[in-house]
Chains A and B, each alone.
Chain A
Amino acid sequence: MTTTTPAVSPLDLDDKLALYRMQLALRLFEQRAYDMFLENLVKGTSHLSLGQEAIAAGVAAAMKPTDWTFATYRGHAHTLARGVPMTPVLAELLGRSNGLMAGKGGSMHLTSVEHGVMGSYAIIGAHLPIACGAAWSAQFRGTDQVAVCFFGDGSTNIGAFHEALNFAAIWKLPVVFVCENNLWMEYTRTTEVTAVENPAADRASAYGLESIMVDGNDADAVYEVAAAAIARARAGEGPSMIEAKTYRHGGHSRADPGKYRPDSEVAEWLAKDPIPRYHTRLLELGASEDQLVEIERDVVREVDLATEQAKAGGVPGEDLLMKDVWADGGSSWRN
């Protein structure tokens, strides 16, 4: 497919400082969520984006407020990156009534329609076709909205992935698929169970799409490919698929120590941590150390405040239990 890439506006220093702040916010939020999991305050499960923050932050920086995000169970970062405040997200993880969905969804289903976060989905691959539907609706109504859909490397082997790519391509839908290739699907190395080396990029050509790969630990690079893909989608040029290489610093979920991964691999990727890298870049671009320290202090304050407010949240009441199965707000199935 030949594509004409519409011009992408480059990020200036202020934009980059904001991008740094966002990455740091995602990092410190996830660390707090992990600590609170170990304290048994975060119940059930949670899947952190520690180490992968540059992707959620970089892509979100390229989106308009009216665009839509479709995330996975590993979706705290993607939700926060769209501007959802930390308190309701953390409170949702704690199962409190001030949670984003009042405790009815939990960590894996973060949704904030008012911020364009159209759900986090925990059945592998299911949200790719759903993102196609939102994109179809934008196309049908003639709005310039774009749907952006995040998923992991392991999710490229399920049928819904392939159905969605073909569907998006034939209908030329304004959707951008972003594969966060962190090399692992739970406890198995994805290349061990995948026919190609690059699980998303190598499949793109099968659907007439360009093969786009990017360093997922470089927020600026992510921003650039995302902005170009989003611009193409907005211009009616159809879908794109981006494969962003990255690594999760922690385990798959909960308290998984991730011991199945060789130490050398972990060390190699820790050295490529997106946040110190971005810090160094900002200093080279002329930001001052003081500025960056102030940003960090500000983020710490935000996380601490969210922690306090989330913990202070109430227990969801029985009134919520039977609410909102149906659009009339109720759950009645008989008269």
Chain B
Amino acid sequence: MTKVTMTVNGKTVSADTEGRTLLSSFLRDGLGMTGTHIGCDTSQCGACLVHVDGKAVKSCSVFAQEVAGAQVRTIEGMANADGSLSVIQQAFQDHHGLQCGFCTPGMVMSAAALLAENPKPTEHEVRHYLEGNLCRCTGYHNIVKAVLAASGQDVSGLGVAAE
């Protein structure tokens, strides 16, 4: 067992790890931060996506010991300081971008990384960027809409029948 220390959502935290402990289990089991979800074992679903030093990373694809000392941000650190939903989170609620909520933490973190890189993405760019995040519930329609809305774009015409 090796103690690993890092900064998660602005707080310095540490927990014991084995060499094989993934960042995802460090967060969930080591720190009890269960907002980060595990949906697969082949790094394909994106439910576990967090930010490591500002970059989108699937937390099941790195060992905790590899990111010792890093700045990590998870879904638990996404709301505004006063506890209200951030713009992206609010857009997911407003546009019904979640159903069961299991993919949602990863989706929100992925969307935040996209908008940090590309503040006004096209629908195509959003779909392409979110390709690594699986959602089985929504059919992505409302997720894409939420991300576009969060970027300040008008989504009122999307998916509406041509009059």
A-B complex is real:
no
* B residues whose Cβ falls under 8 Å from a Cβ of A: none
* A residues whose Cβ falls under 8 Å from a Cβ of B: none
